[in-house]
Amino acid sequence: MEFFRDGDVLFMRFSDGDDLLGCMKQALASQGVRSGVVVCGVGMLKSPQLAFYTGKGVYQPIPMDEEVELAALNGNVATVDGEIFIHLHATVGRKSGEAMGGHFSGGKVHMTAEVAVRVLNKAMIRALDAKTGLRTLRFQ
Amino acid sequence: MEFFRDGDVLFMRFSDGDDLLGCMKQALASQGVRSGVVVCGVGMLKSPQLAFYTGKGVYQPIPMDEEVELAALNGNVATVDGEIFIHLHATVGRKSGEAMGGHFSGGKVHMTAEVAVRVLNKAMIRALDAKTGLRTLRFQ
Amino acid sequence: MEFFRDGDVLFMRFSDGDDLLGCMKQALASQGVRSGVVVCGVGMLKSPQLAFYTGKGVYQPIPMDEEVELAALNGNVATVDGEIFIHLHATVGRKSGEAMGGHFSGGKVHMTAEVAVRVLNKAMIRALDAKTGLRTLRFQ
């Protein structure tokens, strides 16, 4: 992983085998970034853990044991109990071109991946919402 | 709906049942934002109204009577006849993980949704273009 | 094609028949932008050249001889041997709503397309990486 900060943008490049969420968290922490918007992500992933939220805190996994193009990455950076928490949704393209999409629970980079975060100054925290079973965003 | 402004970013969080376009428009109006880029959107939608443009002003609806993950949201904010107009394209993921994509004509939030807009200073207006039947962007 | 610069954002609108990569490169060059993040892209494309990277420098084409909605566009701007190089991944929606995604090798705009780039000050260059066969990003 390599990254640089350009004003309010944190740009990261990941290498083959990098754990996407773990490495992003490391880059964000090293820059003291605890709030932001994931505005872009391209590259490839291997066996990404996509999931569909069925309620009551349950994410139903979408099995994908293959290498895929990362076509789009949307999400944001907040904190949960003081820890950086990255919420990502990914759109990936199979070898056939067929796209799959959903909540991104984790996965490793295949070949390379390039991700940009727009850093925010205002804190965002996530706290459990009884109604949805989700840790929804709150603005302090 | 809750939202905050952080410099040139307007960050919005929507709640279950919120009308996405209507609430976005309300947040933008309250902040006096009439021009911008939709850089990110994640969460879930219920029965989103996706559509495919077939020309001559006709958007052919893509029937989707289900809850879906909002995998990506791209678009922009301009004005039509002085009114805020939000142009959105959505990528959504079904329970199977299969992704669907197209013009987003409207729909309600399921559980929660998080959207970020990069505010622009320069005005963008949409006016009817006879050739395409679309209200295309013009820069003043 | 029309475009304007609003601080660190370059906003472009393309017309029917425009070569997306060629016109973007022209707009970037005219503004002296050689580094950036593609944060948003919507509109339509005709017969987009999507591809899946199979390694050793080979992009396997995904045949699509049709008009599609451009649902999402992610990517970045860097230089290769001093020339502007745009790396894009696209998610497109077919008439049926089915989404396809992958590396975007090129294609023409159908009707219209609207793309925004967040300009970066720091230079990014691409250089061949022997391991992946890709021109991966380096930060100077």
- Model confidence pLDDT, tens digit, residues C97-114: 999 999 999 999 999 999
Average pLDDT for chain C? 97
Q: Please state the rounded mean pLDDT for residues A52-69.
A: 97
DSSP code, position C34: -
Contacts of A49 (CB under 8 A, 6+ apart): A61, A64, A104, A105, A106, A107
Residues of chain B in contact with residue A38, where contact means CB-CB under 8 angstroms, are 40
CA distance A68 to A73: 13
CA angle C89, A87, A124 (to 5 degrees): 125
Q: Residue B87 pLDDT more than 80?
A: yes
Q: Residue A1 pLDDT more than 90?
A: yes
pLDDT digits (tens, 9 = 90+) for A4-46: 999 999 999 999 999 999 999 999 999 999 999 999 999 999 9
Q: Residue C140 pLDDT more than 90?
A: no
> What pLDDT is attached to residue C33?
98
CA distance C76 to C98: 26
Q: Residue C127 pLDDT more than 80?
A: yes
Q: Does A37 touch chain C (CB under 8 A)?
A: no
Q: Please state the rounded mean pLDDT for residues C10-39.
A: 98
- Amino acid, single-letter form, for residue C112: T
Q: Which of C47, C55, C48, C54 is nearest to C73 (CA)?
A: C48
> What pLDDT is attached to residue B16?
97
pLDDT digits (tens, 9 = 90+) for C88-98: 999 999 999 99
Q: Is B104 exposed, middle or buried (0-12, 13-18, 19+ CB in 10 A)?
A: buried
Q: Does C90 touch chain A (CB under 8 A)?
A: yes
Q: Please state the rounded mean pLDDT for residues C75-87.
A: 98
Residue of chain A minimizing CA distance to C89: A71
pLDDT band at A116; cut points 50, 70, 90: very high
